Amino acid sequence: MTIKEIEQQIVEEFSLFDNWMDKYQYIIDLGKSMPVIDEARKKDENLIKGCQSRVWLDCREEDGKLYFSADSDAIITKGIISLLIRVYDGHTPDEILESEIDFIDTIGLRSNLSPTRANGLVSMMKQIKLYALAFKEKQASGDKYSVEDVQKNVIRALKQVFDPEIPVNVYDLGLIYEIKVGEDKNVFIKMTMTSPTCPMAEDVVNDVNNAVSDAPGVKGVQIELTFEPEWDESRMSEEARLELGLM
């Protein structure tokens, strides 16, 4: 569906309610049913400035389209951001930047919010546009990097991710079995953990995904976790061995 078609759908849904008490309850219900942001992304850099309550908004790119997740410590605000995500989710940066949404005023939402919440709504919309602009610029800059450049940037990013139990980055620790950078600048990583029973495996994979996604020139990331062959100390670099006093 296009952004305008989604807007019209929302307008039709709100037209079923006769008063704003019922509409507020509907917004609250939408907030309760919204998938929340991953806890790893619930950090200060994802907080939206200008909101009365705390609102976290994260954005990821996949196949040229943007996907959002969010959370808030205020239930009304959570419902409002869920409406915005519904409108913008799965659209390209250009589609988001070129859109002029009007469902907010059509359903009367803006005029039925307190001044502080109305300002927060504007801040949320602004942040979504800023994400779209940033990803558009990243897509454009990706053409400036060769496959070799991206490969080097990926390795630099991996060296910023550390195993939670060993004070060595995942690259020098030998947890990265394979790195493939396609001509389209999409990156495939095959990696492992020091133990198949590692309780922090999911967190480490998420950290790797986040770090590589932010590396210059990278368009997308796919990670495969494997335990064949199992990791052993022979896979560590000389730097890692020196760091751990094994040389």
Confidence of residue 143 (pLDDT cuts 50, 70, 90): low
Confidence of residue 247 (pLDDT cuts 50, 70, 90): low
Q: What pLDDT, on a 0 to 100 scale, did the predictor assign at position 227?
A: 94
Question: Hey, what domains does the chain have and what are their CATH numbers?
Answer: 3-141 (3.90.1010.10), 147-243 (3.30.300.130)
Residue with tokens 């910023």: 160
Q: What pLDDT, on a 0 to 100 scale, did the predictor assign at position 119?
A: 86
Whether the pLDDT of residue 121 is over 80: the answer is: yes
Whether the pLDDT of residue 154 is over 90: the answer is: yes
Q: What pLDDT, on a 0 to 100 scale, did the predictor assign at position 181?
A: 95
Whether the pLDDT of residue 142 is over 70: the answer is: no
The closest of 157, 82, 73, 67 to 124, measured between CA atoms, is 82
For the annotated catalytic residues, the residue numbers are: 51
Alpha-carbon distance 179 to 189, whole Å?
A: 5
Whether the pLDDT of residue 189 is over 90: the answer is: yes
Q: What is the pTM of this model?
A: 0.59
Alpha-carbon distance 121 to 240, whole Å?
A: 48
CB 105 within 8 A of CB 62: no
